[in-house]
Structure 1
Amino acid sequence: MNHVWFLSSEVTVRNTDLKHCKNDNKVCVMNVRDCDPRPPSSLQKYFNMSCYYLISQDSVTCEWTQDSNSHSESDASLIFSSQWAVRSCQVFNPAAFRTITARMKSDDLDIWSQPRSVLLYEIIKPDPPKLTVVNFTQNSVVLSWRSRSGGICRLRYRVNNTQRWSQTPDLKSGNKQEQVYTIEDLLPFTSYIAAVTCREKSGFWSDWSSNINVTTLESVPSKSPQVCYRLEYTDSGEPFLLHLMWKALDLYDAGSRVLSYQVSYRSVIERSTSVTIIKNVTEVVVPLEVEEGNWSVTVTAFNAVGYGPSAHLNIATQRQKSRVPSVRNMWVSSTFPAVNGLRVEWKVAVDQPSALPVSHFDVQWRAETHPSTSCWSTVDGSNTSAFIPDVEPGESYLISVFPIYEQQFGSPQSLNASLQQGALMEVDQLKVFGVNKTAVSVVWAWQKKSGLIRVNGYSVMLQGDSEKHTLFLWPDQLQHTFLNLTPNTEYSLILLADDVSRITIPVRTDFGKFPCLLCRFFTLILILMSRYKRYFFPPISSPRNSTTGKWLMDSNRKVS
């Protein structure tokens, strides 16, 4: 079977690289071997060849793709010929008319292209424009560059340290050589990279200009944080804990960055002046000690430029019957290598009376190497899972889930995870701590994962000859009791990691109904015998206590 190979070639030649041919004064070549006429054994083919002339480099570049049956490496060269004799092989200038032939030669193949005649002026490729920064604000950058009148240019830009470019539509220069363009809707206090390319009448686009760096100005936060609260009651007479939580502002609303959040709170008492307590915090979850009553709370984001708008809450800390349910049974699994992401799953507690309905969940994740920077996602209250995309390999994340109802949130749950392993927790110290006739109680502990094997879930199975009980394990659970078991039966307690057995512990339930009744019967007999001893063992008369016995035992008795 013959294979056809497609060879892509690109050859650039400068004026100074060309050499005269002694036997033909109309030809200039890169390699003197090309001065000889084309050998009869060679092939002549049509090359889909494109050439351009770069004035600043005084060079011509040709590109083509050619099919070949040869595996060997070929040497590509260009041959320039003219209608008239040339005195010097520095033949490149815009007015020159030249015929270009490409040659590909290898050990077993010699291919020549069909000659192509060009006027160098018509294949000029523009030099890359020089891009400069004219001005910049919090959300815009003004750039300028020079190009020939009547040309078309394209501008691209991206955030530094990212790979995704944004590109403008084609910009026509008109009759002006200096072009000015304003990039708008940028993020404040953010470093950007920009470059430009232009096309002239020849149809060739220039190479992209050198990248230029510019950082927009910082601005005041434009939005107030969305604050929620949760009350944690303590023993009577002690202060309550008022937990505040808010989502970190995104880069645009934050004016690019938030240095800190100012939290101020005071007790609202009629006809009395209370002291306002002010704290500056960098976390987005803050516990405050408060007394029972009404409290006014304000949260404001600020940076080096100033303070943004404030969020205000009026909170009554009296004991409330209705609360937002807490998050339970949270777990994180990895979708790597199919997708660089983490899937977070959880449940909502159903054993809390008078629970408020969850309107939505806020999911927060932050890298351990950058704990001050967090990302957020909002999930509808009817869903109990979320997907975190674009997770960095080799990074560990702290992931938290907050249940929300209006301005209140329930007890959250957090878990560490990584792309390679998913949840960074594993079950340890599984043991039996209680057994009776029909129940087995087990306990276990959770520890930071020590191995490199990914586990998507743990479970415990209690298996007998004719029955099996399975329980999925979650980091917020530490014990469980298996009920409705068979008395006096041998079971195996098995710890499973993704259905693979890790630990097996034998356990036997206590004796059942009949042995226990027999024990109770003997116990009852002993009690009755103790209480009614005289009926079972009647007293026997003692000779010592009789009159005759006393006389016989008296040493001073008299015999008549």
Structure 2
Amino acid sequence: MLSFFPVKMDIWSHKLQLATWTVMNLLYVFSYEVTVRDSDLRLCEKDKRVCVADLSDCGPRPASSIQKSLNMSCHYLISHRSMACEWSEESNGHTDVSLIFRSMDQILSCRGIFNPAAVLNVTARIRNRMMGGEMWSQPHAVFLYDAVKPSQPVLTGLGSTADSVDVSWRSSSDGGCRLRYRVDHTHRWTQASVSVPARRDQIVTYKIKDLLPFTIYRAAVACREESGIWSDWSSDIAVRTLDRVPSRPPEVCYRVEESDSAGSFLLHLMWKDLDLSKARGRVLGYQVSYEPVKKQELHGSLIRNVTEVTALLVVEEGNCSVTVTAFNMAGYGPAAHLSINIERQNALPSVRNLWVSSSFPSVEGLLVQWVSLTAPPYVPPVSHFAVQWHSETRPSPSRWTTVDSFTTSTVIQDVDPDESYLISVFPVYRQHCGSPLSLPAGLQQGALMEPVKLTVMGVTKSTVTFVWEWQKKSRPIRVNRYRVMLRKDSEIQTLSLWPDQSQHTLINLKPNTEYSLLLLADNVSRDIIPVRTDFDEVTAVATATPLLLLAVTVFIISILSRTV
């Protein structure tokens, strides 16, 4: 069996003169591995001490060939009655490789050439099909007794806990074994930190520790002889750790809204999905329990299981108790407790100026930004912000992230380029949720809203009031910022537009002056509206006064002249 494995690409190209073999090509360093069974070998007719797989290798080495010392290593596989040799060599890959085995003694049959007592010299012959040259290695001496490669062990799983797995195998040699494991569907192996001593035919057991609960792992083992030659890795086995009860309660906040029904309210509950590494247990769902308290008696108790991280309850006025508990197959974790007075709820401010922008494909994520308002004195300070997003086009669970109270932006990376999402930001005041502010967005276009119908609503001698509307984006273009600009020669005022706004007034303008009102998408103008401020009455009166005095004077002189 012959296999080639390119390891790295050498720099640009090489010009290598080896006798008559000149290679001008982009060269690679290949890892060669050649395995030969004794049944594949033939005895050379003119030299009874040589066995080859190709009888053309029986002749003497051609004078035009190159002889080179290779860093070759060989090992003997007893169970397969074969020998495998490997080395690395710079090549363009268009090569044929064969091995030539020479014994110190005369060989009766190549069928018995591989045995533990044999001493063989191995030579590699490498032919370049493209350029026509060939290279022979220096003979490599192999003592088969010291080059025995252990057979591949067989690994089995014995049992597991929430954070460990027990495995077992039969050692095929005297020496030691090493074990590796990885999470299923990943490619990065973790190797056990210790080597396990073993004797031939010994049943060895090992406990793999510090694993995640309810997770599938793949494991393999390899053993070596005292000579230091390792066996091939065993076939992977799949093992799963057990479930563990979630160890942490959810972080829950709530807000209350009046409903259309008299005497009832809407209780919104929201919590962040428990992180597996922190909760130390998988979460299948959440149990929400609601118990109103009325005259020291319980009425209308409710228990609901949900898989989302939100719940909407229709509740009565008065005091109530709410608990939220995460659960899985192993049981229920600790509960989060809320004591709520439905009647004494103040409206909590939401965030402002929410916007979403994208730099795809250089950044595969959505940048979410907002502004936090100063809360009234009766409102507790913001403890953190919760950011929620879910697909607008297909049913899917909501996903969440949280940022601290000093941060007003975050990057959402778990998004599909072909999906549009509804993104919401909630300020959280300890256990109280502020009202959400939401905006649709996608990775291709960023925010999926645009301002339209820019209209001037009022004009005075020093102000201009204008309004606009927001609608779903109609053009497949990406805009990271919308602005309104009022311009008159070098006099310019600009204002950023946000989806939670629809009206604004620009002040400190000159009277009786014509301006241009522009709607800008980034730096591109979409609408231009001419607007003129009102006439300045004070200035008009001041200008008219001398004319009026002149007219009165002329009138008086006219009357006096008639009288005279």
Does TM, normalized by the shorter one, top 0.5?
yes
SS in 1 for 2:39: helix
The answer to whether residue 439 in structure 2 is matched with residue 439 in structure 1 is no
- AA paired with 1:470? T
Unpaired runs of at least 5, structure 2: 1-12, 17-26, 545-564
- AA paired with 2:50? V
SS in 2 for 1:16: helix
Counterpart of 1:529 in structure 2 is none
Question: Within 5 Å, which residues of 2 pair with 1:364-513?
Answer: 364-365=388-389, 376-389=400-413, 394=418, 398-418=422-442, 420-421=443-444, 423-437=446-460, 438-447=463-472, 451=476, 453-486=477-510, 487-497=512-522, 499=523, 501=524, 503-513=526-536
* Aligned counterparts of 1:120 and 1:92: Cα–Cα separation in 2: 8
Counterpart of 2:267 in structure 1 is 242
Counterpart of 1:277 in structure 2 is 302
Indicate which of 46, 54, 60 corresponds to 2:77. Answer: 54
SS in 1 for 2:294: coil
Relative to structure 1, is the Cα distance of residues 234 and 211 closer, same or farther in structure 2, using a 3 angstrom cutoff?
same
* Aligned counterparts of 2:246 and 2:109: Cα–Cα separation in 1: 68
Indicate which of 178, 195, 214 corresponds to 1:171. Answer: 195
Relative to structure 1, is the Cα distance of residues 146 and 463 closer, same or farther in structure 2, using a 3 angstrom cutoff?
farther
Counterpart of 1:257 in structure 2 is 283
After TM superposition, give the deviation of residue 117 of structure 1 in Å. Answer: 0.4
Counterpart of 1:42 in structure 2 is 65
SS in 1 for 2:48: strand
Relative to structure 1, is the Cα distance of residues 141 and 442 closer, same or farther in structure 2, using a 3 angstrom cutoff?
same
After TM superposition, give the deviation of residue 50 of structure 1 in Å. Answer: 2.3
TM-score, length-normalised on structure 2? 0.80
Counterpart of 1:287 in structure 2 is 312
SS in 2 for 1:25: coil
After TM superposition, give the deviation of residue 235 of structure 1 in Å. Answer: 9.3
- Residues 291-300 or 111-120, more deviating: 291-300
State the Cα RMSD in Å: 3.4
**Contact in 2 for aligned 1:464/1:492 (Cα 8 Å):** no
SS in 2 for 1:34: helix
Counterpart of 2:9 in structure 1 is none
Relative to structure 1, is the Cα distance of residues 309 and 96 closer, same or farther in structure 2, using a 3 angstrom cutoff?
same
The answer to whether residue 218 in structure 2 is matched with residue 193 in structure 1 is yes
- AA paired with 1:114? Q
1:402-459 residue CA offsets vs partner (Å, 9 max, x unmatched): 32232222223344555x42635131534215242431413131315762x5443333
Relative to structure 1, is the Cα distance of residues 509 and 160 closer, same or farther in structure 2, using a 3 angstrom cutoff?
farther
1:72-101 residue CA offsets vs partner (Å, 9 max, x unmatched): 833222111111121222322333211011
- AA paired with 1:434? M
* Aligned counterparts of 1:356 and 1:196: Cα–Cα separation in 2: 57
Indicate which of 157, 165, 175 corresponds to 1:141. Answer: 165
Counterpart of 2:227 in structure 1 is 202
After TM superposition, give the deviation of residue 212 of structure 1 in Å. Answer: 1.4
- Residues 508-517 or 38-47, more deviating: 508-517
The answer to whether residue 115 in structure 2 is matched with residue 93 in structure 1 is yes
1:443-493 residue CA offsets vs partner (Å, 9 max, x unmatched): 131315762x54433334343333333333333334434344444414141
* Aligned counterparts of 1:442 and 1:492: Cα–Cα separation in 2: 12
**Contact in 2 for aligned 1:199/1:205 (Cα 8 Å):** yes
SS in 2 for 1:24: coil
**Contact in 2 for aligned 1:300/1:308 (Cα 8 Å):** yes
- AA paired with 2:527? T
Relative to structure 1, is the Cα distance of residues 511 and 151 closer, same or farther in structure 2, using a 3 angstrom cutoff?
same
Relative to structure 1, is the Cα distance of residues 458 and 103 closer, same or farther in structure 2, using a 3 angstrom cutoff?
farther
SS in 2 for 1:204: coil
Relative to structure 1, is the Cα distance of residues 62 and 130 closer, same or farther in structure 2, using a 3 angstrom cutoff?
same
* Aligned counterparts of 2:78 and 2:420: Cα–Cα separation in 1: 53
The answer to whether residue 330 in structure 2 is matched with residue 308 in structure 1 is no
- AA paired with 1:15? D
Give the structure with the larger strand fraction: 2
The answer to whether residue 238 in structure 2 is matched with residue 217 in structure 1 is no
- AA paired with 2:282? S
* Aligned counterparts of 1:163 and 1:398: Cα–Cα separation in 2: 34
1:341-391 residue CA offsets vs partner (Å, 9 max, x unmatched): 443322212375644321222344556799665554442211112244565
Counterpart of 1:33 in structure 2 is 56
* Aligned counterparts of 2:237 and 2:386: Cα–Cα separation in 1: 38
- AA paired with 2:105? W
Counterpart of 1:540 in structure 2 is none
- Residues 15-24 or 393-402, more deviating: 393-402
* Aligned counterparts of 2:145 and 2:487: Cα–Cα separation in 1: 87
Indicate which of 150, 159, 168 corresponds to 1:126. Answer: 150
* Aligned counterparts of 2:295 and 2:502: Cα–Cα separation in 1: 48
- AA paired with 2:284? V
* Aligned counterparts of 1:167 and 1:416: Cα–Cα separation in 2: 45
Indicate which of 123, 139, 146 corresponds to 1:115. Answer: 139
Residue identity (%): 50
Counterpart of 2:383 in structure 1 is 359
* Aligned counterparts of 1:417 and 1:155: Cα–Cα separation in 2: 47
After TM superposition, give the deviation of residue 127 of structure 1 in Å. Answer: 3.1
After TM superposition, give the deviation of residue 103 of structure 1 in Å. Answer: 1.7
* Aligned counterparts of 1:475 and 1:96: Cα–Cα separation in 2: 84
* Aligned counterparts of 1:436 and 1:232: Cα–Cα separation in 2: 39
1:46-80 residue CA offsets vs partner (Å, 9 max, x unmatched): 11222233333333222222346xx6833222111
Number of residue equivalences: 511
* Aligned counterparts of 1:449 and 1:88: Cα–Cα separation in 2: 83
- AA paired with 1:205? W
- AA paired with 2:48? N
Question: Within 5 Å, which residues of 2 pair with 1:218-233?
Answer: 218-232=243-257
